[in-house]
Amino acid sequence: MQDMGFSCRIPCVKPLLNNRQRQNGLKTKRTGLLLRREERHTNPRCLRSSVKFLQSVMVWGAMSSAGVGPLCFLRSKVNTAVYQEVLDHFMLPAADHLYGDADLIFQQDLAPAHSAKATSNWFKDHDIPVLNWPANSPDLNPIENLWGIGKMKMRYARPKNAEELKATIRATWALITPEQCHRLIDSMPRRIAAVIQAKGAPTKY
C-alpha cells in the first residue's frame, strides 16, 4: 500500500504506545545503538499497532457454509462436562438453524475434551458423525481464518472491561456474512492440495 510516500508491503506489528510511553522512549539512551531514521520497517507510517486487551475471554463458535452459529462465552476451563453443555445448548441449536433436516458432519480439533470417550459417546447418542481430523492442522480448519477475520475487524476496538469485550466480539461476529463462510468452506479442496504439495508441512492457509 502507499502512505505518505512510503511503500509498505507488509506492516510490522508493534505494541501500541501512548504519548507518555513514547516520550519515555525518547529519553532512553542506549550506547552503541545506530539508528537509521528513514528505515521503512520502523517508520511510524509503516507500522501497524498491536493492542493487548486488559481483559480476556474464552469463546466457542461454529460455522458452516450457510453462516455462523451463536457464540458461547466460557466461564471456566473446558473439560468434558463443560464441552458437552456447549454442544447441548449451542451446537445443536446452531445445527438446527444452519442445516435444518439436512445431514451434517461435525468437525472439531483434538483437544482433550473433544476427543474424550464421553464426548464420543455424546455424538453417537445424538447420531452426529464426527469428521476424522489430524492433530495440529489449523491450515485445514476454515474457522481459524474466520477468527482471524474477526480479530482484524476488532483491531481498533478499545474495550475497557470483559463485558465490553464480549459485546464487541458479539457485534463483530454478527457482521460475518454467509458469503464469507461459504468462500472459506469452498477453499477446502485448495487447502488439501496445498498440504499434499507441502508433504504435510505448514501452508499459506
Residue 111's CATH number? 3.30.420.10
75 with 18, same domain: the answer is: no
The verdict on 76 and 93 lying in the same domain is yes
Query: Which residue carries 477453499 as its cell?
Result: 187
Question: Could you report the per-residue pLDDT of 99-154, keeping only the tens digit for each?
Answer: 888 888 999 988 899 999 999 999 999 999 998 888 878 888 899 999 999 999 99
One-letter amino acid of 106: F
| pLDDT beneath 70, residues of the chain | 1-55
Asked if residue 203 is part of any domain, the answer here is no
Specify if 195 maps to a domain. Answer: no
Residue 123 to residue 152: CA distance in whole angstroms: 33
Retrieve residue 21's grid coordinates: 510511553
Tell me which amino acid residue 85 is. E
Q: What are the phi and psi torsion angles at 9 (to 5°)?
A: -75, -50
Do residues 133 and 155 share a domain?
yes
In terms of DSSP H, where are the helices of 1-131? 19-27, 80-86, 92-99, 112-115, 117-125
Q: Which domain holds residue 22?
A: 2-50
Task: Answer yes or no: is 136 within a domain.
Answer: yes
Q: Indicate whether 184 belongs to any domain.
A: yes
Pairing, β 6-7 against β 58-60: unpaired
pTM score > 0.75 for this model? no
| 101 part of a folded domain | yes
Q: Could you give the CA distance from residue 175 to residue 151 in angstroms, rounded to a whole number?
A: 12
Identify whether residues 105 and 172 lie together within a single domain.
Answer: yes
